[in-house]
A and B are shown apart, each in its own frame.
Chain A
Amino acid sequence: MAKGNNSEYKKMIDKQYKDLMKHCQLHMEEIEKNLPEPKEDLHELLKERGFSRRDFVKWTSAMTAALMLPPIFRPMVAKAAESFSRLPVVWLHFAECTGCSEAFLRSSYPNVDDILLETISLEYHETLMAASGYQAEENLEKAVKDFSGKFICVIEGGLPRGLNGKYLTLGPKGKTGIQVAREVTSKAAAVVCIGSCSAFGNIQSAKPNPTDAVGISKAIGISTVNIAGCPPNSVNFTGTLLHYLMFGSLPALDGLGRPVWAYGKRIHDYCERRPHYDASEFVEEWGDKGALKGWCLYKVGCKGPYTYANCGKVRFNDGISWPIMAGHGCIGCTEPGFWDTMAPLEKPLDEKTYGGGERTVDNIGIALTGAAVAGVAAHAIASGIRHKGDK
């Protein structure tokens, strides 16, 4: 009986994947027809950088698994990667530090993801392009017109809403960020927000938020794919674009617009220090014995239990390391408003203080409980006097 069910189940799954595969193949053919020829030959570029064919195959396997697809999709992932530079991309910068671009483009040992990003067909990118002033403006207008409804709009940085958006003006015509964002995103096939600034506002929107900055989706009321993180992992971005190339649709998103394949579990669920958490082995102070032994960083403020991201799984800089591996707790940078909700960053949550002093929720709780006990004791004595001799 159970066996029968199993094979039934297997048949169903097989059919699902077969349908998905068919959908994928059809879509890739469509792309061949509709999108321009690849601008760069990925394999040439990989060879130049000293990556072998084998490295590329290994990367496709890893990426297929990361996207939670079965191995039969490996050739499709490879094909999508080769077509990566067909996808026209307009990359906008608003209120941010350009750290996300930097993190993607300046790794000292670029991996396949980074090289893939180099092949991306950037029709417009303020940091990287040579044009400036009116010329830059023209480039943007041309790109939006030429690829209307086809290009992906990638946005780095949030939008200040104060003073009618005038805290952020761009270009020779002095348009506000909000204007530019409205104009460009209305013509885009999809809007992908890179980094926590464009996704949720990040540091610009931390209290007291003088410029009233928020993320793109809140600022102009559209739905966006949010590749959250400060900076996010390049894998999460390339993977999302590969998914789009393969299936013509965006991957499943959580309630905050983050792709579920990358942000579906918490840091705490993937963490290599987790056994030490369960065993009550905590680093009490930076550099103590526990720190040397790689114990859990909960008591020095790790926010892994409250943070959805796959950092521990994909890591940074070609999989070399990630914050918790390097010995500092997670600061929760993929979560909305993390500068406020995750503070203090190097202490547990309940040590948040109020009124600029040392008062934490526990101090206040203890004081109130003390007052309550004293209060009822006084009431008891007073009652004893008042109701003396009652029957």
Chain B
Amino acid sequence: MNKLLQRQIKKFTRGSDSLHEEIKPLLYGISDAYDSFDIDRSLIERSLDLSSKELTDANKRLRQEAEKHKAIIDKLKSILTSLAPDLNHFSKESSKDDATYFINFISKLIDERKNTEKALKNAYKKLKDTQNELIQVEKLKVIGRLASGVSHEVKNPLAMILLGVQYLRKKIKSKDRKVVLTLKHMEKAIERADKIIKGLLDFASLSKLDIKQENLNSIVEESLRLVKIQFDKNCIRVETDLKENIPKVKIDKNKIEQVFINIFMNSSHAMHDGGQLTVRTYSKKLKKPGKDGDRRQNDLFKPGETMVISEIADTGPGIPKNILDKIFDPFFTTTRDKGGTGLGLSIVRNIIQMHYGKIEIKNNAKGGIKSTLFFKV
């Protein structure tokens, strides 16, 4: 029987345990009701207990969130005040006008978000650029392995053919114009194939740079020395204006020498009836963006950074407008009949890019072209 019911009956009967047999079934019915009430009550109590626990938990969460919000708002406020002194002033002023303050606050928040987005985008772009560079270096390595393989396999037969043609020329001793021309053309074709393979090897060697601090002036002078015979043959005068105080640049000496030689040789071909080549070097500190015309170099050169610049100008015929955007393409050439491969300028550009530098080639107002090379210090 239900314990509570038992106690109440005892109280009612003053301690007597004897109960009339007739009311026993009724009492048992009541006992059951008592029992089920107990169960219900414990259920209700448990559920009440639960919900109160949940409530305190929820309260705690809300409090924490509120604190977090407050921290965020404080942070945003400090950003706002640091953004501009006049804004600080404004926010104090407008505390009387909460709506205006709030609108300004939100618009600043949006600006802040936009800036963050921009910074993220920039970071992403940089990451992508780096990735592209790595891919480029990988590509060059593959080209390198390919090129030395191809070079070996092609140059050996070329070597054989050249000596074969030369032997035949001596043996045939024909005065027939067609025979003489045929042999001459064959030799020229061998030379051209050889030049292309050399260009490929140059391309291939781009993956490994040997970077040191170098004086650009001495590289210019050495390159000029190497093309001197060629220049003398074409009656080309050379004028130099090399500023002595330019800072040293981090470059691969041999590769940059090749850059100058390729550009000089192009000018030499362009001025086969004589002319003048002018080479200048100087350094320049980039001003803040927007104030001068250096804005387009912002990607590679940051404001305040010092660059060493070299300008090479010739007095040749210049480059026709319609091919100006093609001259850096591999194998693009207008001098194929004179043995040109069209690899010269594409190698130049690749070398400069590997140095994180920049090259521009433009027609001079007075005729001829001017190439400008930008180097990082």
Report whether chain A binds chain B: no
Residues of A in contact with B (beta carbons under 8 Å apart): none
